[in-house]
Structure 1
Amino acid sequence: MPPPADPADPVEAFDELYQRTRDRLLLQTWALTGDLTAARSAVRHAYVVAWHHWRKVSRRDDPEAWLRPHAWAYAQRRHTARLGHRDKDLDPDVKATLDALADLPVGQRRMLLLSLLAPGPSDDMAREVGLPREEAERELHAAAVGFSALRDVPTTDIAAQLDPLAAAVADVRWPRPSILRRSGSGRRRAHTLAGVLATVGALVVSGVVVGDDGVRTSLDRAVTGPRASAPAAPGGEEAQPPLVADALLTGEQVQSRVRGTGWSELRTDGNTEGDGIVLPCQADRYADPRGTGALLRVFAAADRGTGPRRTAWQLAEVSRNERAARRTFRRTVQWYAACSEPRVQLLSTRTVGAVGDQAMLFTLRSWSRPVRTTVVGVGRTGLLTTTTVLRVGNDDRPDISGGTDLLADAVREMCAMPDGGSCVGRPDPQLARAVPIGEVPSLLSEIDLPPVQRVAAPWTGSPTVRADTNPAATPCDRTSFTGGQVSNNVTRTFVVLDAGLPAEFGLSETAGSLGPRKARAFVDGVRRRVARCAEDDLTTEVRRLETSDTKKEDLTVWVVTTEVSEDTTVRYLMAVLRSGTSVAQVGFVPAGRRTMADEAFVGLARRALERLHEHPAP
């Protein structure tokens, strides 16, 4: 067993209390509300508040008895859904126990849980629920009888019904105690500032302040910022600010996670100045314009060298409820999945397991000079959504490991906040399909397209139309997507405007739906026609770049070169693909050296196969 904490060391004493009591306190709070998300946030909040008031809390004989009412009160304020509804995948026995507890009056439920999960003298339990001892004992008896009938178990087996709940909370990931202490210290500073602002506010209301020289100076207006936190909560309790600067990453953390030297913080603010567009690909000032708090922090590395400066950002937002927070996460993801900046290409998409409640990682490259690579992490923990952006020069490979660790650190800091949710385990980034975007999510978009060599202008896509013709076909295959057997047939073309390119230059994709057998036969037919092309036409050369077949997907990519005349040769890059019952063809006609590398087109064909998964069934 670890040695007992030194009561003279407040850090050691707090950390020991946290390690010893957190699982038990979470079990009690979950059993009271039936809402594990609310319980988890409430328990963390209780420890943050405890550190805020540690001199008072540490002098109590039983600090846990101080923590419990704070956790219970906060959890019940956050819990608005019917008991059990927030936890969709509960074990049936756990759900039955929570439902039975929910059917008890709140007072009886409190007494039953105190007697089973926080045993102590009857007088202490009665005092905690605010009842005389005799009345508290009657409530406990009624609770035991009621729960026994609801669960159809004898009263002697009531305690055993809570064992599965205890096993479930044992798997909960907790933030480090240092994070809670930092949040508690930030809360203390925020409340000191709130008190100063309240005093200034009273002077502002009167229209004057007294300067250092004793002169009464008129104030034309008070300087305020949007999304400010109220200094007090209902019932007189001090309100925890929804977000404090101490919950953001530090320059030292960035330095420890990503390449570069001399990382430092340039600014921290609520992003209220100018148009609010600070991050790459950011579409709006906030992803949640109705949120309760937001903070932006900007970092830069000192090692400029000869390339573009390494830069990093963190944006954090707090939403009003979990539904709004999930919506904020989706909106933020769309900023990067559908980045509207010209000449930006999405290189990869990853889901990140064991980081908060939701987490994704995007790798993008801006081909505008100077060429830069950006790794973006988006994570949600409870009501808080955070975005970490790491932008480096093109000479550096995407720092996936650093970007993942940076996002994990950001979520780990924020999950300790009162509105936080799941914390961080061992981050597990996994490649995933591109996030659906655009009017027709099953087709390629501008963000998928690699750059054209020797061309500095961006791609521009046409509107998606019915595929009465197939501009992606080559003279070798002449594939058609019309006829009674093909449904959902659509096509789209991409060109580069104002670049002096010939009319035939461009990239097209056509897609449609067929029955399972006919979809496989469609791909086989294109393959046979292309394979025969070189044999039937001696002026045509066919080279296969890639092919793959599985039960669910097919993909083949070719280069087709045709001599039109002694002086003119036309080169096509073409791919045919299948995802389930959906088929598609991608074709690119370059203009001499204004082309794309073979491997870049193969990568584009694979992205088209990812997108084709979204195409509707026949």
Structure 2
Amino acid sequence: MTSSPGSPLPPPEKHRRPRRHRSLTSAQNTGNKVTVPQSGEPRAGAPGLTPAQAFDALYAYCSPALVRQTYLLTGRRELARESVEHAFQLAWQRWPEVARDRDPAGWVRATAYEYALSPWHRFRRRHRYPDPPPADPADRALLQALLDLPPVYRRTLVLYDGVGLGLPETAAETEASTPAAANRVTHARAELAARVPSLSDPAALHRRLTELASTERLRPTGSTTVRTVGERRTRLWTQAAIAFTVTIIGATTLTLRTAPTRYEPPLSPAQAIQGVPPKPALGPLSSTEQRLRAKLQKASEQGPERLLPLPG
């Protein structure tokens, strides 16, 4: 490969594939290979079809190849199926948007790739250990070399050399500029060629990617099951959201009804005070006090003005 990292790359060379291998972009319906040109992809909003029929047609066209592509990204069989099912369930939830999209297959593919490459999968118990590698040593070396690439490089390489998208389409789907996508493809090819020297030719790389994906028997779930599970999951999430909203409203209402409307300072707890002398008890009056009391009682009505003021 002689192109510079920043220059656009030529598309992968066309070649004849063995009949026993299935292309990463071929369609499949009920187990039979169906040849559909790139410009003849089924329109999701084709007239005369119900939404369910249009969804089933898109699923039958895209899901077999999409599962194989996702396997190349992750190296995990169950995660590949789960990613494709998640993408189509999300597409069914947003079917009016997907049906009007210029490229419904690209919409689903981008969603499946994003889910498959999510870093949160590493925290799941089922993904703590890798899947059994392919039996063929050559396939095992190629898959390990792919998985050692950074995720964004791996995705760009699969789109360009595996799916066969053009460089502008690859850049648009990976949300990068065209020179950046060309740079990623260049470095990814160089890394693979360093690990597997026989893959220095882009045509050989495309053929080996197709063969590696075809060796795994990856069959997607039926479209009816995908739609049913997606609808059930949507209903559960909707019910959970409604229940959570009702709970928040009820808790807020209860708080407003029971909360005090003014500040009431708390009463300090009672404490015993030490060192206060006891109150003395009244004892008997002395003779002097008794005479004074008798004098005051007798002179209280006729006493001086300080005791009984007289009107002027």
TM-score range, shorter chain: 0.5 to 0.7
| Correspondence 1:598-609 to 2 at 5 A | none
Q: Distance in 1 between matches of 2:237 and 2:77?
A: 28
**Which structure: greater helix fraction?**
2
Does residue 119 of structure 1 match 2:164?
A: yes
Counterpart of 1:160 in structure 2 is 207
1:527-575 deviation per Cα after TM superposition (whole angstroms, max 9, x unaligned)? xxxxxxxxxxxxxxxxxxxxxxxxxxxxxxxxxxxxxxxxxxxxxxxxx
Pick the aligned partner of 2:182 from 120, 131, 137: 137
| Correspondence 1:190-201 to 2 at 5 A | 190-201=236-247
Letter in 1 for 2:102: D
Q: Distance in 1 between matches of 2:183 and 2:112?
A: 25
Structure 1 residue 14 displacement after superposition: 0.8
Counterpart of 2:225 in structure 1 is 179
Counterpart of 2:254 in structure 1 is 208
The alignment partner of 2:142 has SS state of helix
Structure 1 residue 83 displacement after superposition: 10
The structure number with the bigger radius of gyration is: 2
Q: Distance in 1 between matches of 2:129 and 2:215?
A: 14
Counterpart of 1:102 in structure 2 is 147
Going from structure 1 to structure 2, the CA distance change for 1:173 and 1:30 (only over 3 Å counts) comes to closer
Does residue 62 of structure 1 match 2:103?
A: yes
Q: Distance in 1 between matches of 2:223 and 2:159?
A: 26
Structure 1, gaps ≥5 residues long: 210-215, 219-618
Paired residues of 2:67 and 2:80 also in contact (CA < 8 A): yes
How many residues end up aligned between the 2 structures? 211
Q: Distance in 1 between matches of 2:76 and 2:221?
A: 19
Paired residues of 1:94 and 1:165 also in contact (CA < 8 A): yes
Going from structure 1 to structure 2, the CA distance change for 1:161 and 1:15 (only over 3 Å counts) comes to same
Q: Distance in 1 between matches of 2:57 and 2:231?
A: 18
Pick the aligned partner of 2:62 from 4, 16, 21: 21
Structure 1 residue 113 displacement after superposition: 0.6
Q: Distance in 1 between matches of 2:128 and 2:239?
A: 38
The alignment partner of 2:86 has SS state of helix
Letter in 1 for 2:131: R
Letter in 1 for 2:213: A
Going from structure 1 to structure 2, the CA distance change for 1:204 and 1:165 (only over 3 Å counts) comes to farther
| Correspondence 1:460-499 to 2 at 5 A | none
Counterpart of 2:273 in structure 1 is none
Q: Distance in 1 between matches of 2:35 and 2:205?
A: 33
Q: Distance in 1 between matches of 2:134 and 2:249?
A: 54
Letter in 2 for 1:180: V
Q: Distance in 2 between matches of 1:118 and 1:205?
A: 53
Paired residues of 1:30 and 1:36 also in contact (CA < 8 A): yes
1:42-81 deviation per Cα after TM superposition (whole angstroms, max 9, x unaligned)? 1112111211111111111111221123222322346439
| Correspondence 1:361-440 to 2 at 5 A | none
Superposed CA RMSD: 2.9
Structure 1 residue 37 displacement after superposition: 1.8
1:326-350 deviation per Cα after TM superposition (whole angstroms, max 9, x unaligned)? xxxxxxxxxxxxxxxxxxxxxxxxx
Structure 1 residue 18 displacement after superposition: 0.8
Counterpart of 1:435 in structure 2 is none
Pick the aligned partner of 1:12 from 53, 68, 73: 53
Going from structure 1 to structure 2, the CA distance change for 1:132 and 1:90 (only over 3 Å counts) comes to same
Going from structure 1 to structure 2, the CA distance change for 1:180 and 1:98 (only over 3 Å counts) comes to same
Q: Distance in 2 between matches of 1:91 and 1:175?
A: 27
Paired residues of 2:146 and 2:154 also in contact (CA < 8 A): yes
Identical pairs, percent: 29
Paired residues of 1:123 and 1:133 also in contact (CA < 8 A): yes
The alignment partner of 2:165 has SS state of coil
1:102-142 deviation per Cα after TM superposition (whole angstroms, max 9, x unaligned)? 22222211111110233334223212212121111111111
Q: Distance in 1 between matches of 2:150 and 2:254?
A: 53
Q: Distance in 2 between matches of 1:2 and 1:128?
A: 24
Q: TM-score, normalised by structure 2?
A: 0.60
Going from structure 1 to structure 2, the CA distance change for 1:208 and 1:118 (only over 3 Å counts) comes to farther
Q: Distance in 1 between matches of 2:246 and 2:53?
A: 38
Q: Distance in 2 between matches of 1:63 and 1:206?
A: 44
Paired residues of 1:44 and 1:180 also in contact (CA < 8 A): yes
Does residue 38 of structure 1 match 2:79?
A: yes
1:427-464 deviation per Cα after TM superposition (whole angstroms, max 9, x unaligned)? xxxxxxxxxxxxxxxxxxxxxxxxxxxxxxxxxxxxxx
Going from structure 1 to structure 2, the CA distance change for 1:52 and 1:217 (only over 3 Å counts) comes to farther
Going from structure 1 to structure 2, the CA distance change for 1:160 and 1:198 (only over 3 Å counts) comes to same
Letter in 2 for 1:155: D
Letter in 2 for 1:161: R
Q: Distance in 2 between matches of 1:2 and 1:168?
A: 20
Structure 1 residue 100 displacement after superposition: 0.8
Structure 1 residue 190 displacement after superposition: 2.3
Going from structure 1 to structure 2, the CA distance change for 1:176 and 1:49 (only over 3 Å counts) comes to same
Q: TM-score, normalised by structure 1?
A: 0.32
